[in-house]
Amino acid sequence: MTKFVLSVIGQDKPGILAKISSILFRYGCNIEDVSQTILQTEFASIFIVTNPKAHPLQEIGQALNQALGSLQLSAHLRPMTAQASPTAVTTQPFVITTRGVDKPGTIAAVTTAIASLECNVTNFRAIITQESGVDEMIMIFEVDVPMGVEHRRLRQIVGGACVAHGLDSSVQHRDIFETLHRI
């Protein structure tokens, strides 16, 4: 069975998911997985869709973009290909949080530090708040850390990147983070 990835972005308004899912249903497609969010006023979503009737993606994409264009939304489709998965690496889940003045380069610095240890960011959220008239950014990273990476080393590398950009940081195993924050 063929699958494809669909992403849709644009200004948020009621009925977007209804429009997308109705068009996919019309083509006999099934939504297997979806993640959707709203950032400020912008809608963003990603879908994993099965296409059992093997309709051409170009045809489905044209139908979606024609219907969504009037809503100031755009859709992008690409086929999912069956790939041999890389050798599974055993990981532990960590939560990295940072806080500091919002300025260009902070996300790049922290994610580069995380990537330098072959850690994978599985979820990320950045929130801008006002503190004494200054934009402050809080970043929350959920990260899979390979078992071979020492926790002290992770804290050192991430902490160094954060200090260089004026950020406070915390690195905690997810279980500890959830216990402390009662999530």
- Assess if residue 147 is contained within a domain: yes
Please give the average per-residue pLDDT across 64-80, as a whole number: 95
Same domain, 69 and 95: no
Same domain, 22 and 102: no
Number of structural domains in the chain: 2
Sign of CA dihedral 148, 156, 141, 8: negative
Say whether pLDDT at 84 is over 80: no
Q: Which domain holds residue 13?
A: 2-79
Are 137 and 101 a contacting pair, CB within 8 Å? Answer: yes
- Assess if residue 85 is contained within a domain: no
Are 101 and 135 a contacting pair, CB within 8 Å? Answer: yes
Q: What is the mean pLDDT of the chain?
A: 92
58/35 Cα distance (integer angstroms): 22
Residues 6+ apart with CB under 8 A from 73: 8, 9, 10, 11, 16, 43
Residue pLDDT, tens place only, 140-183 = 999 999 999 999 999 999 999 999 999 999 998 887 777 777 75
Give the model's pLDDT for residue 85. Answer: 56
Mean pLDDT is lowest, of 17-31, 44-58, 165-179, for 165-179
Residue pLDDT, tens place only, 56-65 = 999 999 999 9
Please give the average per-residue pLDDT across 104-132, as a whole number: 93
Same domain, 9 and 63: yes
147/15 Cα distance (integer angstroms): 44
Residue 73: CATH number of its domain: 3.30.70.260
